[in-house]
Structure 1
Amino acid sequence: MSINLTPKPDLCFRSETARLLALNVAQIQTGMLDGENSIEQIGDSFQDLASFCLNMQNKSECPPELKQEAALMYQKVNGAIVAFQFYDRLAQRLDHVQKNLILLSEILSDNEKLDNPDDWQCLRTRIKSSYSIDSEVVMYEAVMNGATITEAIEIFKKELNTTSNDEAIELF
């Protein structure tokens, strides 16, 4: 397969930025697909382990020591399933980033939109309304109010720590 790498004569920073944003969106999307398949397989395996443990606990011919071990294993497997919530949150955030990069690319590649403050405000509104996790909204507000990336991440971490118990996500 031959790929033409000759620069285009109409190269400008906006069109190049839009192309690079598109490339990053594609990378995020393929990474999410890879992760989704792996997490689904792991989740299925853990569900099978949990079912096995429940079956062992319910068998009358099973010795009490084995039933206790199965109950303990069941608790640990359920704990692992809950721990997979990290992937659900990661997938949500990456989905938001992906969609936001596409919207930004659309503005950058259109001369009329690029110079229109209403289009930029619409982009900000769409980005903010896409967030489903409170800590994301707090981070958005911090950045839009001038916080550095480091400051925004610290603000995000604080918010995440105070709201993580309230933001239950069901994975399976």
Structure 2
Amino acid sequence: MSNEFNPNEQLCFRAETAKLLALNVAQIHSGMHEGESSIEQLGDSFQDLANFCMQVQSNPDSDQETKQLAANVLGQVDKAIVSFQFYDRLSQRLSHVQSNLSLLAELVSDNEKLESSDDWRLLRDKISASYTIETEQEMHDAILNGASIEEALSLFKRRLQESEGEQVVELF
């Protein structure tokens, strides 16, 4: 299969756009799948390490210094496990992007939907309703209200800086 366009064929930009969107969806999906197994393995390893530390601490034959070292390691393991939250947020964001790109590909590949303001409005509504992380919704609103990508990213970075030092847990 050739990756080059045949100059004698008429190029359908909508079909090509839909194909490229589908390619991006597939790439996101495969990247997420690979990441999930790695994160699962790391989580399991940290859980095993935490269990070992708790066993050392509860063992009456362990000396006080060993118990203190186990407590310190357990504290670090707890911090690492909390830090894995980033992957949950990343995974959810990429899942939203994947879904939204699929919806957009479907819309641009259908002549009737492409010309329908109702279908475009429905797409926007579906995308907006899919966000469960507050910063995603804020970025969505900023872009749809005319902000540039740079402005929306700047808003996102400011929100991250504001929450640094706080233990913000976004439930999703």
Specify the alignment match of 1:113 in structure 2: 113
Which amino acid letter does the alignment assign opposite residue 42 of structure 1? L
Identity of matched residues, %: 53
Counterpart of 1:140 in structure 2 is 140
Contact 2:25-2:98 within 8 A present in 1 as well: yes
- Structure 1 Cα separation of the partners of residues 10 and 67 of structure 2: 72
TM-score normalised per structure 2 = 0.91
TM-score for both structures, normalised by structure 1:
0.91
Q: 1:92 to 1:5 in 2, by over 3 A?
A: same
Amino acid at match of 1:16: E
In 2, the alpha carbon distance for the partners of 1:13 and 1:85 equals 40
Maintained 8 Å contact 1:107/1:113:
yes
- Deviation track 1:53-85 (CA, whole Å, cap 9, x = no partner) reads 001000000000000000010000010011111
User: Does the Cα contact within 8 Å between 2:133 and 2:170 map onto a contact in 1?
Assistant: no
Q: What does residue 167 of structure 1 align with?
A: 169
**Worse overlay, 124-133 or 158-167:** 158-167
* Distance (whole Å) between structure 2 residues aligned to residue 53 and residue 169 of structure 1: 29
What is the Cα-based RMSD across aligned positions, in Å? 1.7
SS in 1 for 2:68: helix
Deviation at 1:154, TM superposition (A): 1.1
| Cα distance in 2, alignment partners of residues 71 and 15 from structure 1 | 59
CA distance in 2, matches of 1:151, 1:139: 9
- Alignment match, 1:90: 90
